[in-house]
Amino acid sequence: MTQQQIVPVDTDVPELADFARRVARLIAQDLDERTLTAAVRDDLAVTLAAGFALPSEKTVPDPERYVMYPLHVASDGSFSIASAVWNVGQGTPVHGHETWGVVGIHSGTEVETRFAKPSAPGVPLVEEGTDEWTAGQVTVCCTTDDDVHQVRCGGDEPVVGIHVYGADIGTLPRRSYDPDTGAVHWFTSTWAHPRGEHR
């Protein structure tokens, strides 16, 4: 892909459309994951610092569980950008991603607890630490060799994150873990869609 080629995007947020084009160009360079995720992290930090508004319907928490609204899914499935929303008190199971990922906080506070990726099935997980991320902060949440964590809303308002993954995360089978036993359950975080939007 050359700089002159136009990358089609499917988001109605102009700032994220430009960001998606830059991510596509980075992916086309065939960088190793550490280099790629560092570049995406730095670009997302600049994009968040410049400020942009998300469609209000893609910041609405679900009363039952966290949700991910698609903001952009590459036509070839090479990456996706999501608005991930946790309501107050909500969190995820301990889980992996099966791909690389970068997370930036648009609003609210996210608490992330990281675990060492198990070397074998059925091995209890080892906790590696907990971080708190607030608006404007960005982290590489995962690479394929280091991608196990648990996330929850850490404040008194919903947390909205911009999540960038190296796959169509709304269709990708992933692992969740029982941290005490290491037992694995496969799941897919299917895309959420605003009420009234038919897919």
Q: What is the mean pLDDT of residues 173-185?
A: 96
What per-residue confidence (pLDDT) applies to 85? 98
Cβ atoms of 192 and 62 closer than 8 Å: yes
**What is the tens place of the pLDDT at every residue in 135-164?**
999 999 999 989 999 999 999 999 999 999
Q: How many helices (H) and strands (E) does the chain have?
A: 2, 11
Determine which of 4-13, 15-24, 95-104, 183-192 has the lowest per-residue pLDDT on average: 4-13
Torsion, Cα of 45, 50, 52, 58 (10° steps): 10
CATH of domain 14-187: 2.60.120.10
What proportion of the chain, given as a percentage, has pLDDT over 90? Answer: 87
**What is the tens place of the pLDDT at every residue in 46-67?**
999 999 999 999 999 999 999 9
What per-residue confidence (pLDDT) applies to 2? 37
pLDDT band at 11 (very low <50, low <70, confident <90, very high): confident
Q: What is the mean pLDDT of residues 84-96?
A: 97
Query: Is residue 199's pLDDT more than 60?
Result: no
Q: DSSP string of 31-49?
A: --HHHHHHHHHHHHHHHHH
pLDDT band at 4 (very low <50, low <70, confident <90, very high): very low
What per-residue confidence (pLDDT) applies to 195? 67
pTM of the model: 0.92
Domain spans of the chain? 14-187
Query: Is residue 197's pLDDT more than 60?
Result: no
Phi, psi angle pair for 103, to nearest 5°:
-125, 130
Number of Cβ within a 10 Å radius of residue 95: 20
What per-residue confidence (pLDDT) applies to 12? 79
What proportion of the chain, given as a percentage, has pLDDT over 70? Answer: 92
What per-residue confidence (pLDDT) applies to 21? 96
Query: Is residue 198's pLDDT more than 90?
Result: no
